[in-house]
């Protein structure tokens, strides 16, 4: 007799074991997903719901920890699934069953594409988004690409190195950065976007918090709006995106670049970031943005300490559980410098490692300043954990 310990961090280990023993592909994957262990935090929950959940768990087998207004359930997905079935839900747990069913559906069938203006991006592989800052004061490359010719040349380099989207930004959002008026921001980004669109270099994303800038950028050819404020800065931005039918990235940030460092206070950073991103995504949907056009970004470096950034990276699956594709932007951020001691210009290796870790935890899009190293790291990561 031989006992073989299978890896528990991915369903792939069980799928491969079953496939090697004659199972067909789809049943093997469904069984592997069903056996995969899950931890689900349910809150808020009423005392009556908590008692009903404890009684159900005593019969069904999942582990349950409870407290005032919350419950933590630990079990294989197959043991949780009956609780989400309308014909099997115990009395008093109807609301829990509805939310659990929605979450399990997203867990088993995560988003596999992102609809943007004019096309659909497949997410069965790492998608690189190349950053082109046309600003004089960005933390990483301020002033390097602040003419149209230099910006176009940088976009061509990024696309040649494997980027599928070019993200053009005209306002720095580094800590303490001075705000830029919409007229100046339009002056910076629109000529670049027009040239990129005219030359077929894209699709193009515009990094802006302002409806006026987004409208001008979309008219110039932008297919995506990337809002670091998660639609909190300008309430009209969501309506502009929804009406235009472009893609949308909502990023987690608290406050503004001037105030965000003082707001990096969390009890459970991954859980709170996920909850706040869910509110942002709901805000986008209410503004008319189709769900398949929404991507969420946990906002590495925005209103988070280095320690909180690393905890968020390690627990990124919590953000993936919100149910939308996840883009990450760790590129050259301060928290990578805190770990490596490297200056901004020498953090591309650390960026590549962070991207690979994020892929393994469920991110599918990666915003980078230098694509070559990140592409290779992600190719290796994707080879070990295929979608």
CATH number at residue 244: 3.20.20.20
320: pLDDT strictly greater than 60: yes
Q: Residue 117, by phi and psi: left (phi above 0), alpha (psi -120 to 50) or beta?
A: beta
pLDDT at 172 over 90: no
Of 89, 108, 127, which residue sits at a domain end?
108
- Position 245 scores a pLDDT of 98
Residues 40 and 68 in one domain: yes
Please, which pLDDT band fits residue 175 given cuts at 50, 70 and 90?
confident
Give percent of the chain above pLDDT 90.
78
The predicted pLDDT at position 145 comes to 67
On whether both 176 and 102 belong to a single domain, the answer is no
Whether residues 223 and 312 fall in one domain: yes
∠ at Cα 378 (377, 381), nearest 5°? 90
pLDDT, position 159 = 97
Range of the domain at 241: 113-384
Which of 48, 80, 108 marks a domain boundary?
Answer: 108
Whether 2 is in a domain gets the answer: no
Classify residue 230: in a domain, yes or no.
yes
The token pair at 130 is: 């190349």
Residue 302 belongs to some domain of the structure: yes
In a domain, 101, yes or no: yes
Match 């559906």 to its residue by tokens. 105
Residues 6+ apart with CB under 8 A from 162: 128, 371, 372, 375
Asked if pLDDT for residue 227 goes beyond 90, the answer is yes
Q: Are residues 104 and 117 in the same domain?
A: no
Same-domain check for residues 229 and 169 = yes
For the ranges 51-60, 97-106, 175-184, 318-327, the lowest mean pLDDT is seen at 175-184
Give the pLDDT mean for 226-250. 97
- pLDDT for the residue 231: 97
Q: Which own/partner contact pairs does 30-36 have at CB distance under 8 Å and 24+ positions apart?
A: 30/108, 33/77, 33/107, 33/108, 34/76, 34/77, 34/78, 34/81, 35/11, 35/76, 35/77, 35/78, 36/10, 36/11, 36/76, 36/77
- Which pLDDT score is estimated for 387? 65
Q: Distance between CA 185 and CA 189 in Å, rounded? A: 6
Average pLDDT over residues 330-355: 96
Query: Is residue 165 within a helix (H) or strand (E), and if so which, with residue range?
Result: strand 165-169
d(CA 339, CA 307): 10
Please compute the mean of the pLDDT values over residues 42-59 and round it to a whole number.
93
* CATH number for the domain that contains residue 93: 3.30.1370
The Cα-based distances of 327 to 128, 136, 228, 311 in angstroms read: 9, 25, 12, 17
Of 361, 307, 353, nearest to 330 by C-alpha is 353
Answer whether residue 142 is part of any domain.
yes
Q: CA distances (Å), 286 to each of 31, 238, 283, 293, in order?
A: 36, 8, 5, 13
Residue 85 confidence (pLDDT):
87
pLDDT at 147: 83
Same domain for 355 and 241?
Answer: yes
The pLDDT of residue 104 is 87
Q: Is the pLDDT of residue 142 over 90?
A: no
Question: How many domains, in total, are found in the chain?
Answer: 2
> Could you tell me the pLDDT band of residue 209, with boundaries at 50, 70 and 90?
very high
For the chain, how big is the Rg over CA atoms in Å?
A: 22
The model carries a pTM of 0.92
In angstroms, the CA 309 to CA 323 distance is 21
β-pair type (365-368, 327-328): parallel
333 given a catalytic annotation: yes
**What pLDDT score does 203 carry?**
97
Respond yes or no: is residue 210 known to be catalytic: no
- Active-site pick, 333, 334, 347, 375: 333
pLDDT band at 138 (very low <50, low <70, confident <90, very high): low
Residue 1 lies in a domain: no
Please say if the pLDDT value at position 215 is more than 90.
yes
Q: Cβ distance 113 to 125 under 8 Å?
A: no
Check if the beta carbon of residue 313 is closer than 8 Å to that of residue 304.
Answer: no
Q: For residue range 265-312, list pLDDT tens digits in order.
A: 999 999 999 999 999 999 999 999 999 999 999 999 999 999 999 999
Indicate the average pLDDT of the chain.
93
pLDDT band per the 50, 70, 90 thresholds, residue 165 = very high
Res 376: pLDDT: 97
Residue 285 within any structural domain of the chain: yes
Q: Are strands 294-297 and 327-328 parallel, antiparallel or unpaired?
A: unpaired
> Does residue 174 have a pLDDT over 60?
yes
What is the average per-residue pLDDT within 241-270? Answer: 94
**Region of poorest pLDDT, from 132-141, 147-156, 214-223:** 132-141
Shared-domain flag, residues 96 and 212:
no
**Confidence band of 140 (pLDDT split at 50, 70, 90):** low
Six-digit token pair at 185?
Answer: 């921001």
Domain end, chosen from 108, 124, 150, is at 108
What six digits make up the tokens of 358? 């994020």
The tally of CA atoms less than 13 A away on the side-chain side of residue 113 is 6
Q: Which of 79, 209, 367, 375 is catalytic?
A: 367
Give the phi and the psi of residue 85 in degrees, each rounded to 5. Answer: -85, 130
**C-alpha separations of 375 from 3, 123, 141 in Å:** 38, 15, 20
**Contact between residue 372 and residue 161 where contact means Cβ atoms under 8 Å apart:** yes
Domain match, 103 and 119 both: no
**What gap in Å lies between CA 382 and CA 359, rounded to an integer?**
7
DSSP 263: G
Residue 379: pLDDT band (50, 70, 90) is very high
> Within this chain, do residues 37 and 123 fall inside the same structural domain, yes or no?
no
**Res. 108 pLDDT band, cuts 50 70 90:** confident
Pick the closest to residue 297 from 371, 354, 236, 230 (CA basis): 230
**Do 160 and 47 have their domain in common?**
no
Q: What is the mean pLDDT of residues 118-125?
A: 96
Q: Are residues 100 and 194 in the same domain?
A: no
Residue 276 and residue 128 share a domain: yes
Confidence bin at 87 (pLDDT 50/70/90): confident
- Do 367 and 111 touch, CB atoms closer than 8 A? no
Say if residue 203 is preceded by a cis peptide, omega within 30 of 0.
Answer: yes
Q: For residue 22, tell me if it sits in a domain.
A: yes
| CB distance 192 to 219 below 8 Å | no
SS3 label, residue 94: helix
Query: Does residue 348 surpass a pLDDT of 90?
Result: yes
């Amino acid at each position: 007799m031989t006992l073989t310990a299978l890896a528990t961090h991915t369903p792939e280990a069980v799928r491969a074991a079953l496939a090697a023993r004659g199972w067909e592909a789809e049943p093997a994957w469904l069984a592997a997903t069903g056996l995969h262990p899950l931890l689900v935090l349910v809150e808020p929950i009423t005392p009556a719901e908590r008692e009903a959940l404890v009684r159900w768990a005593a019969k069904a087998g999942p582990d349950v920890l409870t407290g005032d207004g919350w419950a933590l359930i630990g079990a294989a997905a197959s043991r949780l699934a009956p609780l989400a079935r309308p014909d099997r839900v115990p009395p008093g747990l109807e609301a829990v069953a509805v939310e659990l069913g929605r979450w399990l559906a997203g867990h088993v069938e995560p988003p596999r594409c992102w609809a943007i203006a004019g096309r659909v991006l497949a997410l069965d592989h790492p998608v690189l988004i190349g950053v082109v800052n046309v600003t004089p004061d960005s933390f990483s490359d301020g002033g390097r690409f602040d003419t149209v010719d230099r910006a176009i040349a940088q976009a061509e380099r990024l696309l040649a190195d494997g980027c599928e989207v070019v993200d053009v930004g005209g306002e720095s959002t580094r800590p303490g950065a001075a705000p830029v008026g919409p007229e100046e921001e339009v002056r910076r980004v629109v000529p670049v976007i027009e040239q990129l669109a005219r030359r077929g270099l894209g699709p193009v994303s515009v990094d802006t918090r302002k409806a006026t800038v987004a409208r001008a950028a979309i008219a110039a050819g932008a297919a995506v709006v990337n809002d670091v404020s998660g639609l909190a800065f300008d309430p009209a931005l969501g309506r502009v995106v929804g009406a235009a039918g472009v893609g949308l990235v909502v990023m987690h940030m608290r406050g503004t670049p001037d105030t965000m460092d003082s707001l990096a206070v969390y009890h459970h950073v991954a859980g709170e970031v996920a909850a706040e991103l869910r509110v942002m995504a709901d805000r986008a949907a209410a503004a008319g943005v189709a769900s398949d056009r929404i991507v969420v970004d946990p906002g590495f470096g925005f209103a988070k300490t280095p320690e909180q950034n690393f905890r968020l990276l390690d627990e990124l699956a919590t953000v993936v559980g919100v149910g939308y594709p996840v883009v990450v932007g760790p590129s050259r951020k301060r928290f990578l410098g805190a770990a490596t001691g490297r200056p901004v210009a020498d953090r591309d290796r650390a960026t590549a490692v962070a991207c690979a870790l994020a892929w393994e935890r469920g991110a599918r899009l990666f915003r980078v300043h230098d694509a070559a190293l990140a592409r290779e790291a992600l190719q290796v990561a994707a080879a070990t954990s295929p979608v």
